[in-house]
Amino acid sequence: MKNILVPIDFSEHSNYAVEVAVDLAKKNGATILLLHCVELPQRFVTETTSVLPEELFFMKEASFNIKKVSETLSSQGVTVETLVETATLTNAVRILLEKESIDFIVMGSTGASGSKELFLGSNAEKIVRTSPIPVLVIKDKTDISKVKKMVFACDFSQRYVKAFEKAIAFANILGAKIDFVYINTPYHFNSSREIKTLIDNFSKEHGEILTHSIHMYSDFSIEEGIIHFAEDNQGDLICMFPTKQSTLMHLFNGSISEDIVNHSEKPVLTIKL
């Protein structure tokens, strides 16, 4: 972890993300890239005049604010770079990931629910959906050094191997242990014997899992099972694994990862499978 991207909007929740990023940067000797997006009204974007007074005002205000944050972090011994873009956050992040060597994203989120979730989603949800690199979503003020138990829910198939390796690496950075868990539901039910066989086969190939804890947990849905298991076992952080879906499928089905990002009160680390 050498370059950490932190999208900020100067809100309380993005400040929480900055604090976590600073702790991670200090642990890894990483550089923080602060990104702020000035999403101009459409009439500014389509105006034939290249620079408008209103645009200059918004950009100047954003540059001033991000410079203050940067100076504060630099005084704490962290290497910081800043960037102000006139674009949507999702587009700005996508372009940055294509052009720059960024390996981790930390961002704050208030979550989303109801009609807002259906039609707009949260910025965090959109980034999680498209980011090829791990994204850590922070909901509340978080002391990342106190994260000692991570929850990793999976079916113990080989498609989780790379995510498993990244989660182990992140746990090692934090000095945390992982609760690996199979969520059993009425609609995708497996017997205890079948689940044990899956776990045993995975463990034979990836012995490091045996230094952590392995569980089976039953609930009515995978999403509820993950959230309830984390609550019941005092999990400090949840690992999730977004998969790409078509726009139509996402509108009607969403994804478990994005639901967890929106609904869980705990920090969520998403790792693309």
Mean pLDDT value across residues 116-137: 75
| Residue carrying structure tokens 């994005």 | 258
pLDDT digits (tens, 9 = 90+) for 137-163: 999 999 999 999 999 999 999 999 999
pLDDT value, residue 40: 65
Concatenate the DSSP letters of all residues of 85-136 into one string: ESS-HHHHHHHHHHHS---EEEEE-----HHHHHHT--HHHHHHHH-SS-EE
Report phi then psi at 74, rounded to 5. -60, -35
Name residues whose C-beta falls within 8 Å of residue 145's C-beta, 6 or more positions apart in sequence: 23, 174
29 Ramachandran zone, left/alpha/beta (phi>0; psi -120 to 50): left
Dihedral of alpha carbons 136, 140, 144, 149, sign? negative
| Mean pLDDT taken over the chain | 87
pLDDT digits (tens, 9 = 90+) for 222-239: 999 999 999 999 999 999
Q: How confident is residue 111, by pLDDT bands cut at 50, 70 and 90?
A: low
pLDDT value, residue 255: 78
Whether the per-residue pLDDT at 254 is higher than 50: the answer is no
220 Ramachandran zone, left/alpha/beta (phi>0; psi -120 to 50): alpha
Q: How confident is residue 41, by pLDDT bands cut at 50, 70 and 90?
A: low
Mean pLDDT value across residues 154-183: 96
Q: How confident is residue 129, by pLDDT bands cut at 50, 70 and 90?
A: confident
pLDDT value, residue 113: 46
CB 258, CB 270: distance < 8 Å? no
